[in-house]
């Protein structure tokens, strides 16, 4: 978790691997975490695609932030499956039910989150191609 938080907040990383900086007349698109590859795009004539790119990156960052929160909650619950004597609700919920509920939550959330990331990353890459080809 520490590595994810460090990469996300210190390195401004998200699963699309894109970030940006907007200056007066240019948009700098950065790809990568530590060794960033930079592409500059003039704002003039590209403002619509720049706004769509920024929106797509913002949506991906927001989804990633939600994923980090859910991971922070689910990771300890998953670890309790490996240490059943320490798990919460052991007086009220049998181990098999606890494991089934936690794994079901994980599967449902993953089934919802992964397609959202794929969609956002596709949008981001499409806008990067549009911006860098012009």
- DSSP 8-class letter at 44: T
What are phi and psi for residue 87, nearest 5 degrees?
A: -70, 150
What does the pLDDT profile of the chain (134 residues) look like in tens digits?
777 777 777 767 788 889 898 888 898 998 877 777 888 888 888 889 999 999 999 999 999 999 999 999 999 989 988 887 887 778 888 888 888 999 999 999 999 999 999 999 999 999 999 998 86
> Taking the model in full, what pTM does it have?
0.82
Query: What is the Cβ-side half-sphere exposure of residue 2, based on CA atoms within 13 angstroms?
Result: 0
DSSP secondary structure string, 58-101? HHHHHHHHHHHHHHHHHHHHHHHHHSGGG-TTTTTS-HHHHHHH
């Amino acid at each position: 978790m520490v590595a994810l938080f460090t990469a996300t907040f210190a390195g401004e990383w998200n699963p699309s691997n894109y970030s940006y900086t907007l200056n007066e007349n240019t948009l700098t698109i950065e790809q990568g975490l530590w060794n960033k590859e930079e592409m500059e795009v003039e704002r003039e004539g590209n403002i619509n695609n720049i706004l769509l790119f920024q929106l797509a990156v913002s949506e991906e960052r927001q989804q990633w932030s939600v994923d980090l929160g859910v991971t922070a909650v689910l990771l300890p619950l998953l670890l309790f499956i490996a240490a059943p004597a320490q798990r919460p609700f052991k007086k009220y919920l049998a181990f098999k039910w606890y494991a089934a509920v936690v794994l079901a939550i994980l599967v449902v959330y993953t089934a919802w989150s992964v397609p959202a990331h794929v969609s956002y990353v596709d949008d981001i890459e499409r806008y990067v191609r549009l911006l860098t080809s012009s």
